[in-house]
Amino acid sequence: MVKVAIINIGDELLIGQVVNTNAAEMAKMLNAAGFDVVLTQTIGDDGETIRKFVVESLAYNDVVLVTGGLGPTKDDITKKVLAEIFDSELVENVEVREHIKKMFAQRGYAFTPTNQEQALVPKKCRVIFNAVGTAPGMCFEKEGKLLFSLPGVPFEMRTMMKEVIRIMEDHFETEVIEHRTLMFAGIGESFLSDMLEDFEATLPAYMKLAYLPQPGMLRLRLTAKGTSKKLILSEIENRKEALRHLAQDYFIGYEMNSLAEAVGEKLVEVQKTMATAESCTGGNIAHQITLIPGSSRYFKGTVVSYANEVKQQVLGVNVCDLEKYGAVSEQVAKQMAQGVRQLLQVDYAVATTGIAGPDGGTEEKPVGTVWIAFADVNGCHAEKYCYASTRESFIDRVSNYALLMLLKKISAAR
Amino acid sequence: MVKVAIINIGDELLIGQVVNTNAAEMAKMLNAAGFDVVLTQTIGDDGETIRKFVVESLAYNDVVLVTGGLGPTKDDITKKVLAEIFDSELVENVEVREHIKKMFAQRGYAFTPTNQEQALVPKKCRVIFNAVGTAPGMCFEKEGKLLFSLPGVPFEMRTMMKEVIRIMEDHFETEVIEHRTLMFAGIGESFLSDMLEDFEATLPAYMKLAYLPQPGMLRLRLTAKGTSKKLILSEIENRKEALRHLAQDYFIGYEMNSLAEAVGEKLVEVQKTMATAESCTGGNIAHQITLIPGSSRYFKGTVVSYANEVKQQVLGVNVCDLEKYGAVSEQVAKQMAQGVRQLLQVDYAVATTGIAGPDGGTEEKPVGTVWIAFADVNGCHAEKYCYASTRESFIDRVSNYALLMLLKKISAAR
């Protein structure tokens, strides 16, 4: 087992202004290649702290991956610290300098002394080429262990990780590691856990089951590690099938990251189209659907009807119903779904109308109240939920409820 | 200075299946209260590892905050490990048990033996009440230091952090810490850095400047720490103003987290309304805008016109132009903006049409090509960009370009 530690450097991560997405993304790539990430750490832009954690992590692990602190600005100091740790002077790298110059020329920018400093690298390191940015990556080797330093900009890090993994694969012999993920929806974590008690108790020592709850859905991940690829593969496939059968009623799909992906697969399979009419979700369902590559095959569009006039004039919601029942009502939700279905000429439509908060609630309809409607050629169906939370998590959860309703209705319609 | 370390437990974080948003959110709350987060660590659901990192972090820091591993499922073991570290047996807490029972009754669920285990807590700890979930939080004290354990579910953690900070404030005397954030757009990080060289060189030792780049924009954060609140406040205000003047042309606003927030403030100020027509951004601009509380005051709605028929039939894009110039063209972008402005009867509209990829590019219009258009009562303006990236980051960046265009045009129109 090759043990990997990740160190993400940046004061902005420690005061919480920026969420650290790099750790997760790097871990995912390393894991897929059979390396074990055992620790991720976030520390500040401080020379002494960087030195302490890099040296300690190298002592306990086989590979240390550092991100951040390579930019051209004054608060970026990682490169100097690493040059000290590995006792190596900074020298200009001609290839890196020419690459930076070229990138600046393409963008029509001048090449300033601040940028010139980015072409300096420690003499002892192997340069990891940064095709999409100006800060070069670095790889150091010491007593059979590897240390990598990459920029903190996610897009640059992502591109360079491929080269990092190639170097690691050349350097180490890796164990076989397999993951299988199953998505479930419509059941709470503790209930699923009770259903799977016997299954979990009889798992062999080299397999692990993890619960990954998200708003409105839940993924289970099976992991198997070992030296025999054949055994690992056959065992994990068997257990995966067993798991599915134990909770078949709530099963959505394998290796899926979102309900939007599940909806997309189903629509491609049945060759139907869809649209959304969104009030409280404000376009987030459409956004989730269009994050999936190829969604133009089944998704035709959306009307975000935030204002009541838009509900009336574009979606054709009855003005008397709007006044009588209010915008957050079964009647309006259904008319929105039917309206967008007709307007965009699709097979299936979902609509949402609710109170995301923090203001706008009443005693009868408190913040968190939402109606979700589905329309197809056979008619219309609506459900009411109440989920008081932050604005953002309300929008996320309602979007997932709507996608789940869509998925179930499409599956039932076949 | 009270040093705080955060430990987030969860295998799902180490294999990258879930992004760790808790660390950032906790750090933000702690920072605002004057506590220094010096380290965040993510480790696996493994008893020995949890013990090692908790004990080490307690040795070097004043407070350790642990999240995760408190759920009802088999992979959650934090509570047992903490009971061992603090040499305290697990006993049933009647209040917690009754609360869990009540929560389950409200949801119409049965109270199972698995849930009953959640009512067990170490005898020596102070229970942090979890009003929105079933797993209780815990606070341990040892030699003047504090250790907190909270659930990993973001919504539950968030609610309980208020109580955690109250306990910390009672326990420690805190330093004054102030942050000011300035948002800029339309300038690259290294260019802004060059403009601010003298400013940075003359900052006093107790102040720090950090660069926080995001797709299509950049925030600068000034931090000042000290014992005199009066001095800290007056100094940080002076420097903030100086910073703004140095890069006035690119300045967007203070204490803002997104361009959508800046657009919203401006629209409230000038009392105008807006709408969007989105093809390649698929509703994400609308989603960003509606994440802001109170956006219904100025945002009327959106047409996501993913299919060409929707561009024609709903937005009134000319069918000949669609055929002649293609969907990704200046002509179509402008007609989309004008079309949605008319349809939803708003003052301002933006439209996007582009190729998000990974497929759909041609030699003439490669993946990453996008036209963004703005329309108001005086007419229409469009710009072309090319930004090849992942689908997700393309959508993010184009959304920010569109919001920046909107912001500039509204500001100029006054």
pLDDT at residue A236 in the model: 95
* CA dihedral angle for residue B24, residue B28, residue B30, residue B34, rounded to 10 degrees: 140
Shared domain for A123 and A231, answered yes or no, is no
Shared domain for A97 and A120, answered yes or no, is yes
- Are the beta carbons of B73 and A11 separated by less than 8 Å? no
pLDDT at residue B414 in the model: 61
Q: Determine the residue of chain A that is closest to B155 in CA distance.
A: A389
Distance from CA of B356 to the nearest CA of A (A): 9
Q: Determine the residue of chain A that is closest to B16 in CA distance.
A: A24
Between CA A283 and CA A196 the distance in angstroms is 37
Shared domain for B373 and B349, answered yes or no, is yes
Q: Please tell me the total number of residues recorded for chain B in this structure.
A: 414
By DSSP bridging, strand B3-9 and strand B36-43 are parallel
Q: Locate tokens 């797993």: which residue?
A: B135
- Are the beta carbons of A289 and B282 separated by less than 8 Å? yes
Shared domain for A107 and A76, answered yes or no, is yes
Residues near B76 by beta carbon (within 8 Å), at least 6 away in sequence:
B45, B68, B69, B70
Distance from CA of A399 to the nearest CA of B (A): 11
| Domain total of chain A | 3
Contacts of A345 in chain B (CB under 8 A): 309
- Are the beta carbons of B212 and A12 separated by less than 8 Å? yes
From residue A314, alpha-carbon distances to A309, B300, B313 in Å are 8, 12, 12
Average pLDDT, chain B: 91
pLDDT at residue A154 in the model: 87
Q: Locate tokens 């403030």: which residue?
A: B265
Q: For residue B257, what pLDDT band results from cuts at 50, 70 and 90?
A: confident
Residues near A211 by beta carbon (within 8 Å), at least 6 away in sequence:
A189, A192, A193, A218, A219, A220, B71, B73, B75
pLDDT at residue A358 in the model: 85
Q: Express as a percent the part of chain B with pLDDT over 70.
A: 98
Q: Which residues pair with A376 in a beta bridge?
A: A379
Q: Which of A193, A226, A254 is the last residue of a domain?
A: A254
ipTM rounded to 2 decimals:
0.72
Contacts of A276 in chain B (CB under 8 A): 304
Between CA B58 and CA B60 the distance in angstroms is 6
Distance from CA of A7 to the nearest CA of B (A): 9
- Are the beta carbons of B391 and A291 separated by less than 8 Å? yes
Q: Please tell me the total number of residues recorded for chain A in this structure.
A: 414
CATH number at residue A318: 3.90.950.20
The secondary element (H helix, E strand) that includes residue B413 is: helix B391-413
pLDDT at residue A74 in the model: 59
Burial A383-395 (b: 16+ CB within 10 A, else e): eebebebebebbb
- Are the beta carbons of B72 and A18 separated by less than 8 Å? no
* Residue B129: DSSP 8-state: P
Residues near A93 by beta carbon (within 8 Å), at least 6 away in sequence:
A119, A120, A121, A127, A136
Picking from B73, B181, B343, the nearest residue to A314 by CB comes out as: B343
Shared domain for A151 and A124, answered yes or no, is yes
Report whether B135 contacts B155 (CB < 8 A).
no
Q: Determine the residue of chain B that is closest to A3 in CA distance.
A: B14
Shared domain for A112 and A139, answered yes or no, is yes
Q: Which of A210, A231, A254 is the last residue of a domain?
A: A254
Distance in Å from the first CA to the final CA of chain A: 47
Between CA B228 and CA B204 the distance in angstroms is 15
pLDDT at residue A72 in the model: 65
pLDDT in tens, B302-318: 999 999 999 999 999 99
Cβ count within 10 A of residue A210: 22
**B53, B45, B106, B110: which is closest to B71 by C-alpha?**
B45
Distance from CA of B27 to the nearest CA of A (A): 5
Picking from B16, B44, B302, the nearest residue to A302 by CB comes out as: B302
Burial of B126 (0-12, 13-18, 19+ CB in 10 A): middle
Contacts of A278 in chain B (CB under 8 A): 283, 286
Between CA B398 and CA B393 the distance in angstroms is 8
Mutation pick from B157, B306, B343 vs chain A, by most beta carbons of A within 10 Å, is B306
Q: Determine the residue of chain B that is closest to A188 in CA distance.
A: B109
Picking from B189, B210, B278, the nearest residue to A12 by CB comes out as: B210
Contacts of A356 in chain B (CB under 8 A): 290
Report whether B79 contacts B70 (CB < 8 A).
yes
Mutation pick from B190, B214, B272, B297 vs chain A, by most beta carbons of A within 10 Å, is B190
Between CA B409 and CA B391 the distance in angstroms is 27
- Are the beta carbons of B310 and A300 separated by less than 8 Å? yes
Per-residue pLDDT of chain A (414 residues; tens, 9 = 90+): 899 999 999 887 888 777 788 998 899 889 878 888 999 999 988 889 999 999 999 999 999 999 998 766 655 788 999 999 999 999 999 999 998 888 777 766 777 777 788 889 999 999 999 988 888 999 999 999 999 999 998 888 999 999 999 999 889 877 788 889 999 998 888 889 889 999 999 999 889 888 877 777 889 989 898 888 888 999 999 999 999 999 999 999 999 989 999 999 999 999 999 999 999 999 999 999 999 999 999 999 999 999 999 999 999 999 999 999 999 999 999 999 999 999 999 999 999 999 998 888 888 898 899 999 999 999 999 999 988 778 888 999 999 999 999 999 998 886
- Are the beta carbons of B310 and A344 separated by less than 8 Å? yes
CATH number at residue B157: 3.40.980.10
Q: For residue B40, what pLDDT band results from cuts at 50, 70 and 90?
A: very high
- Are the beta carbons of A14 and B27 separated by less than 8 Å? yes
Under 8 Å CB pairs connecting chains A and B tally to 319
Contacts of B181 in chain A (CB under 8 A): 17
Q: Residue B71: pLDDT above 70? A: no
pLDDT at residue B336 in the model: 98
Distance from CA of B258 to the nearest CA of A (A): 12
Shared domain for B55 and B134, answered yes or no, is yes
- Are the beta carbons of A40 and B42 separated by less than 8 Å? yes
Between CA A207 and CA A203 the distance in angstroms is 6
Q: Determine the residue of chain B that is closest to A279 in CA distance.
A: B301
Contacts of B190 in chain A (CB under 8 A): 71-73, 112, 114-115, 134
Between CA A307 and CA A279 the distance in angstroms is 8
- Are the beta carbons of A155 and B389 separated by less than 8 Å? yes
Helical pair B154-171 and B22-32, crossing angle rounded to 10 deg: 30
C-alpha dihedral sign at B250, B251, B257, B259: negative
Q: Determine the residue of chain B that is closest to A198 in CA distance.
A: B74
CATH number at residue A222: 3.30.70.2860
Q: Residue B332: pLDDT above 90? A: yes
Contacts of A179 in chain B (CB under 8 A): 15
Picking from A14, A40, A314, the nearest residue to B37 by CB comes out as: A14
Shared domain for A117 and A239, answered yes or no, is no
pLDDT at residue B107 in the model: 67
Cβ count within 10 A of residue B123: 12
Model-wide pTM > 0.80: no
Shared domain for B224 and B276, answered yes or no, is no
Distance from CA of A141 to the nearest CA of B (A): 24
Between CA B166 and CA A14 the distance in angstroms is 20
pLDDT at residue A71 in the model: 65
Picking from A15, A49, A287, the nearest residue to B283 by CB comes out as: A287
Between CA A156 and CA A314 the distance in angstroms is 43
Q: Which domain holds residue A357?
A: 259-413
Cβ count within 10 A of residue B201: 8
Distance from CA of B263 to the nearest CA of A (A): 16
Between CA B396 and CA B101 the distance in angstroms is 43
Pair of tokens at residue B290? 């509606």
- Are the beta carbons of A208 and B11 separated by less than 8 Å? yes
**B284, B282, B302: which is closest to B344 by C-alpha?**
B302
Shared domain for B223 and B268, answered yes or no, is no
Residues near B91 by beta carbon (within 8 Å), at least 6 away in sequence:
B120, B121, B122, B123
Q: Which of A117, A142, A171 is the last residue of a domain?
A: A171
Mutation pick from A7, A41, A42, A255 vs chain B, by most beta carbons of B within 10 Å, is A42
pLDDT at residue B373 in the model: 98
How much is the average pLDDT of B124-136?
A: 89
Q: Residue B402: pLDDT above 90? A: yes
Shared domain for A111 and A148, answered yes or no, is yes
- Are the beta carbons of B16 and A28 separated by less than 8 Å? yes
Report whether A63 contacts A3 (CB < 8 A).
yes
Picking from B44, B158, B295, the nearest residue to A38 by CB comes out as: B44
Between CA A356 and CA A289 the distance in angstroms is 21
Q: Determine the residue of chain A that is closest to B208 in CA distance.
A: A75
Q: Residue B377: pLDDT above 70? A: yes
Contacts of A11 in chain B (CB under 8 A): 208, 210, 223
Shared domain for B298 and B379, answered yes or no, is yes
Contacts of B59 in chain A (CB under 8 A): none
- Are the beta carbons of B287 and A282 separated by less than 8 Å? yes
Q: Which residues pair with A181 in a beta bridge?
A: A221
Contacts of A116 in chain B (CB under 8 A): none
Distance from CA of A157 to the nearest CA of B (A): 13
From residue B308, alpha-carbon distances to A60, A195, B357 in Å are 57, 47, 17
